[in-house]
Amino acid sequence: MKLFDVYPLMNVTPVKAKDCILWDENGKEYLDLYGGHAVISIGHAHPHYVQKITEQINNIGFYSNSVQIPIQTELAEKLGKLSGYDDYTLFLCNSGAEANENAAKLASFHTGKDRIIAFNGAFHGRTSGTVALTDNPKIVAPFNAHHKVSFVDYNIDAIKEIIAGGDVAAVIYEPIQGVGGIILPSDEFVQELRTVCTENGVILIADEVQSGYGRSGKFFAHQHSNIKADLITMAKGMGNGFPIGGVLISPEFKASYGLLGTTFGGNHLACAAAVAVLDVIEQENLVENAKEIGEYIGIQLNKFPKIQEVRGRGSMIGIEFDFPINELKNNLLTKHNIFVGYAGTNVIRLLPPLTITKQYVDKFISALETEINIIING
């Protein structure tokens, strides 16, 4: 049988990984500044992570959600403490799209309304429901219950106007748009959005699938704007590669939880992975490290020609160039052995493990300098 044809992002096959380093089948070493698309939070094969998962599978790897799973409670308590959302409840599922599906469903059930406002450039997943919230001209949404308003114009009036229609259940937003190219709304816009939602009984969903779990230099990126969301979705960095997703649900919610459920969600092994991630984030001060590294990258890139803008927070950085970056991206990989992500035609996205050090950043900066000099000097 042939595999379904996923698009090959990079022509390298990693077979082994440790912290921020990947090795291919020939033993060639690569620096991972892509983090498997913001998934690797505590670094590859962290000893504590490996130990926790191994211990768990030796005890019990999976049973059913119809029995008590004590490690779920451990995860919820730890997550509440580190995120500052102690009073919320945690629903566990398996992926980012599933978390968003459930958040949308909860909002709709809670309000009795069915329209959800999403933003231009948004990415919320590829399932039937979330694909309709995702802004991708190549995708034909199977239903059409959603508006898309501009994220960059910060047009609060457009949102007010749609809400005035009376059928809006929720607004969903990425505190830092990832796939969209590392786009940040202003804190003032987010605060206004929060106020408008509260005044109109509209649920505010923060999609922290990519920006959450310390990546932005705060536990959740929306916390930079000093607001609380009603529902917060998460996945990628939560399991450091083990599939797990979650929704934090405000205590105000009166939705029946019979509405939510999944066979695999929150299974023992996934929770062991997620608890290990939180242990390491806490013990190694990784939220603070992400913040410092982000600032360091910003300062280092300041001096570069050919860069139009450096955006982002913490370990979630977009570098916009004034030329198409396809060749640059390939050269970084093939000549300098560095994995980076990209968005559109001219943005490089850095989503390294939160364990990243200045020494690794310096390697990237020096490689970038070499390549930009070649471009400038022909």
- CB of 303 vs ligand PMP, minimal distance in Å: 30
Counting contacts by CB under 6 A, is residue 315 touching ligand PMP? no
Counting contacts by CB under 6 A, is residue 97 touching ligand PMP? yes
Q: How far is it, in rounded angstroms, from Cα 370 to Cα 366?
A: 6
Counting contacts by CB under 6 A, is residue 207 touching ligand PMP? yes
Counting contacts by CB under 6 A, is residue 125 touching ligand PMP? yes
* Block residue for tokens 């599922």: 93
Closest CA to 238 of 195, 208, 198, 199: 208
Q: For ligand PMP, which is the closer residue by CB, 94 or 300?
A: 94
Q: What is the DSSP letter of 19?
A: B
Counting contacts by CB under 6 A, is residue 250 touching ligand PMP? no
- CB of 177 vs ligand PMP, minimal distance in Å: 7
Contact segment (CB under 6 A) with ligand PMP among 2-10, 206-214, 253-261, 281-289 equals 206-214
Residues 375, 323 contacting (CB under 8 angstroms)? yes
# binding residues, ligand PMP (CB under 6 A): 14
- 244 class by beta-carbon count within 10 Å (0-12 exposed, 13-18 middle, 19+ buried): buried
Counting contacts by CB under 6 A, is residue 351 touching ligand PMP? no
- CB of 376 vs ligand PMP, minimal distance in Å: 33
Please count the residues of the chain. 378
Tokens of 106: 């909860």
Choice from 91, 119, 123, 364 touching ligand PMP (CB under 6 A): 123
* Block residue for tokens 């923060």: 206
Counting contacts by CB under 6 A, is residue 44 touching ligand PMP? no
Residue sitting closest to ligand PMP (CB) = 96
Contacts of 316 (CB under 8 A, 6+ apart): 38, 176, 178, 182, 210, 211, 215, 216, 221, 294, 349, 350, 351
- CB of 211 vs ligand PMP, minimal distance in Å: 7
Contact segment (CB under 6 A) with ligand PMP among 90-98, 257-265, 313-321, 353-361 equals 90-98
Kindly identify the residues of this chain, within the stretch 251-310, that bind ligand PMP according to CB under 6 A: none
Closest CA to 277 of 54, 17, 45: 45
Counting contacts by CB under 6 A, is residue 239 touching ligand PMP? no
- CB of 346 vs ligand PMP, minimal distance in Å: 19
- 112 class by beta-carbon count within 10 Å (0-12 exposed, 13-18 middle, 19+ buried): exposed
Residues 81, 112 contacting (CB under 8 angstroms)? no
Q: For ligand PMP, which is the closer residue by CB, 49 or 123?
A: 123
- CB of 96 vs ligand PMP, minimal distance in Å: 2
Q: How far is it, in rounded angstroms, from Cα 221 to Cα 356?
A: 19
Binding residues for ligand PMP (CB under 6 A): 95-97, 100, 123-125, 174, 178-179, 207, 209-210, 235
